[in-house]
Structure 1
């Protein structure tokens, strides 16, 4: 993208940020609709909206990754001898598995319907795609207007 003028690169990067905002907003809307449309608020248990679990999921869990893995994507996706990076990967993986397992367990127990399960899982996959887009966008680092 170096052949484009600075203002064109800036506009394209702004579009990428807009895409991330739309993905995250869409995930939140799907999460709320999974509860509101089926008049059953048990899917909120997965923790994307409630304040305490929102804090745990989106603030506390990424902090070790930021501190111990840094901004290098290669550390996150490769094997490491650093125990802090490995612990961070484990915590993040456990959170991801819980985000899929809790709605599946609720459906198996008959607490939520198939539609709520589908919307909850689609909300999770929208959030994951937003995170993957952020990781790939973070590697480019073309956010200067000049």
Structure 2
């Protein structure tokens, strides 16, 4: 239970950095909020692969490798979006730094979630 509370706390810190990058008066631009779509999409390939693959931790399969590839693409896209927005002048570089630090915290939280609950006896075939 305490692990779940810790994960929720770190996710809240990451979202706070994202909101600060958008809402501070010197930045005042809400374009970086599109990163939230990447936060929601990131665990989807892994959850689907765990449902379809017989075991996620054993030998490598094509489904597992594809889910890792797609997840990596989502993470890289979420890092690239604020950098491109800052490079084109849509947002300021300070906002980009806050969004990137929020990205790192949130994605480490998602990774931590999968590590904490990897040994859980939840059966995906029940869905």
Same fold at TM > 0.5: yes
Q: In 2, distance between residues paired with 1:119 and 1:102?
A: 13
After superposing the two structures, state which structure 1 stretch, 129-138 or 61-70, moved more: 61-70
Residue pairs, 1:1-146, within 5 angstroms: 14-37=1-24, 38-46=27-35, 48=36, 53=37, 57=41, 60-69=44-53, 72=56, 74-75=57-58, 80=60, 82-139=61-118, 141=120
| Structure 1 residue ranges, 4+ long, deviating more than 6 angstroms after superposition | none
Superposition RMSD in Å: 2.6
Say which one has the larger Rg.
Answer: 1
Aligned residues: 119
Where in structure 2 are there 5+ consecutive unaligned residues? 121-127
**1:63-101: CA deviation from partner (whole Å, max 9, x where unpaired):** 3233135674x35xx7x2x22222211111110000100
Contact 1:100 1:121 in 2 (8 A): yes
Where in structure 1 are there 5+ consecutive unaligned residues? 1-13, 142-146
Q: 2:123 matched to which residue of 1? A: none
